[in-house]
Amino acid sequence: MKKNVITIMLLLAMAGSIKSQDSLISKSQIKSAEKIFGLNFTDAERDSMLENLNEQLNDYNTIRKIDIPNSIPPSVMFNPIPIGFKSDESLSRVEFSDYSNTILPEDKDKLAYYSIGQLAYLLETRSITSLELTKFFIERLKKYNEALHCVITFTEELAMNQAAKADKEIAEGNYRGILHGIPYGAKDLLAVKGYKTTWGAMPFKEQVIDEDATVIKKLEKAGAVLVAKLTMGALAWGDVWFDGKTRNPWNPEKGSSGSSAGSASAVSARLVPFAIGTETWGSIVSPSTVCGVTGLRPTYGRVSRHGAMALSWTMDKIGPICRNAEDLVIVFDAIYGLDENDQMLYDYPFSYFPEIDYSELKIGYLKSDFELEDNFDGNDSRALDKLIELGAELIPIELPEPDVSNISWILSAEAAAAFDQLTLSNEDDQLVRQIKNAWPNVFRSSRFIPAVEYINANRIRYMIIQKMQKLMSEIDLYIAPSWMGDNLLLTNLTGHPSVVVPTGFDDKGMPTSITFVGRLFDEGRLIAFAKKYQDATGHHLKHPVIELVNEK
């Protein structure tokens, strides 16, 4: 008994935040907590745990006093590269299609529908200036933003300066490349010096981060012109942000999905030639699907996340959202690569050639997923038929087990850590969405995920990565329904790249898509595969007609 009293007194002396014996954990509390974690200890085991648990509680209270900005990553890093993985490093060359037949349209409004490559040719040949093009797209953004709600902040002053600089350099013969002078928009989780970076969330509405994200720096180096910071679902979930909902250009009564909502909406409405989005679990694939645009989710560790909001350190990826597949290459070629500020990057070459022969490839397809109902009104099947018509021999495959839905909360645990201060301070009450299926409730619930379970879930993830390597060693790429089955979650957990392309429309007139998944660091072949499909179908060339708010 005396020993126990001394132990408690020591614990009280150590714990600055524990004021009385009533603040200590009791055996009855341990018993109640066991139910949350699916455990069952004996009374003697609970008694033995008391000292350790109270010491740990003191540690928790101590480290909570340390300010940990969202930009600080954990020292434990995720590695998506399986045992024995080898990348073809013999090639590191990018070739683009020939755009020399591009002419300046008499009706300047038609510029809105030109690809990056076409606009680049007009700029390089000085048929149009970057200032003219930048003003054109800023005017379009302002004209349609009230209907679509896709812009958080216009970066007009920065854009004018960048465009003027691009014009001067091009006139002097210092052409930087195909992005020189091209306007674009960036998801508002990327820091831009001198402008707010709100993360779409009320608690950060006035936040200014005094640096440029690496992706922004790389695009500036390529000569691209930033015209706007685009909307995102609050803290990268959905299409609802602190000032409303981002709208879908094909039907403004609907949202544009999440969380790269503004990026997809703006590209779909032809308000910018391209935009930067991010994906953790579907945030490029989903908005690209519902807005009818083309998106690339690169391999994990391909693009620096320095200066970007962290949601899940082991799942976040940055990629382009564009009008067509080759535009993805143009943007990706500028933003991928090593960065001294991001230790979670891998140095592999990137190659792209626009011509590809389907008959020379081993192409898988997720047979059981394609057989599920709600198959985008048959557009998935029609896409497979078109691929076969183009020379593809489709090999039925299945994803490796176990079921990844049982470890999806890896994302929740990391997100809760990234925004733990919101939970502890109750500032999560300021977020617009307060339903069960929204961040505030997920952050709180994730506080009860045991560290042991999180680590074991990642061990299972390691096993799946090895199994995916075996599958991908037998094929060059595979085809999946964009939303059906476990493919979207699994490949975000394993870090594999994917390209999502439009496949037409459903019976309600809304866009549909299909997803192509490639080997790690093999984005070039994946995009070439998508380009051939697009060239043969033309779904990506269709665009919405947007009704202005003041015309209603």
Arithmetic mean of pLDDT, 357-364: 98
Q: Which of 468, 463, 453, 466 is nearest to 409 (CA)?
A: 453
**pLDDT tens digit sequence for 502-522:** 999 999 999 999 999 999 999
Arithmetic mean of pLDDT, 76-98: 88
Average pLDDT score, the chain:
94
Q: Which of 195, 258, 194, 207 is nearest to 69 (CA)?
A: 207
Q: How high is the pLDDT of residue 90?
A: 66
H-helix or E-strand containing 241? strand 240-241
3-state secondary structure of 281: coil
Q: How high is the pLDDT of residue 16?
A: 41
How many CA atoms within 13 Å lie on the side-chain side of 131? 10
Kindly provide the b/e burial profile for residues 325-351, where b requires at least 16 CB atoms within 10 angstroms of the residue's own CB. bbbbbbbbbbbbbebeebebbbebbbb
State the CB neighbour count (10 A cutoff) for residue 261.
35
The CA–CA distances, whole Å, from 303 to 194, 250, 276, 356, 521 equal 23, 30, 12, 25, 11
Tokens of 533: 């499909």
Kindly provide the b/e burial profile for residues 144-165, where b requires at least 16 CB atoms within 10 angstroms of the residue's own CB. bbebbbbbbbbbbebbbebbeb
Q: How high is the pLDDT of residue 347?
A: 94
Q: How high is the pLDDT of residue 551?
A: 54
| Secondary structure letter of residue 372 according to DSSP | S
Give the ranges where 90-197 is alpha helix by DSSP (H). 116-124, 130-148, 156-171
The residues, ordered by sequence, that sit 6+ positions from 143 with a Cβ below 8 Å of its Cβ are 548
pLDDT tier at 5 (50, 70, 90 boundaries)? very low
3-state secondary structure of 245: strand
Q: How high is the pLDDT of residue 22?
A: 55
Domains of the chain: 2-63 (no CATH), 108-403+452-544 (3.90.1300.10)
**pLDDT tens digit sequence for 483-503:** 999 999 999 999 999 999 999
Q: How high is the pLDDT of residue 3?
A: 42
Tokens of 234: 């609050």
Lowest mean pLDDT of 82-96, 307-321, 338-352, 448-462, name the range.
82-96
Kindly provide the b/e burial profile for residues 500-519, where b requires at least 16 CB atoms within 10 angstroms of the residue's own CB. bbbbbbeeeebbbbbbbbbb
Q: Which of 532, 497, 528, 535 is nearest to 515 (CA)?
A: 497
Question: Using CA atoms, how far apart are residues 120 and 56, in angstroms rounded to an integer?
Answer: 59
By the 8 A CB rule, do 296 and 67 touch? no
**pLDDT tens digit sequence for 150-188:** 999 999 999 999 999 999 999 999 999 999 999 999 999
Kindly tell me if the per-residue pLDDT of 470 is higher than 50: yes
Q: How high is the pLDDT of residue 377?
A: 85
Q: What percent of the chain has pLDDT over 90?
A: 92
Q: Which of 12, 34, 513 is nearest to 296 (CA)?
A: 513
- pTM as predicted: 0.94
Arithmetic mean of pLDDT, 22-51: 92
The CA–CA distances, whole Å, from 71 to 1, 101, 205, 211, 481 equal 48, 46, 17, 12, 34
The residues, ordered by sequence, that sit 6+ positions from 110 with a Cβ below 8 Å of its Cβ are none
Q: Which of 468, 467, 455, 471 is nearest to 407 (CA)?
A: 455
Kindly tell me if the per-residue pLDDT of 80 is higher than 80: yes
Kindly tell me if the per-residue pLDDT of 550 is higher than 70: no
Angle, in degrees to the nearest 10, between helices 451-472 and 487-494: 100
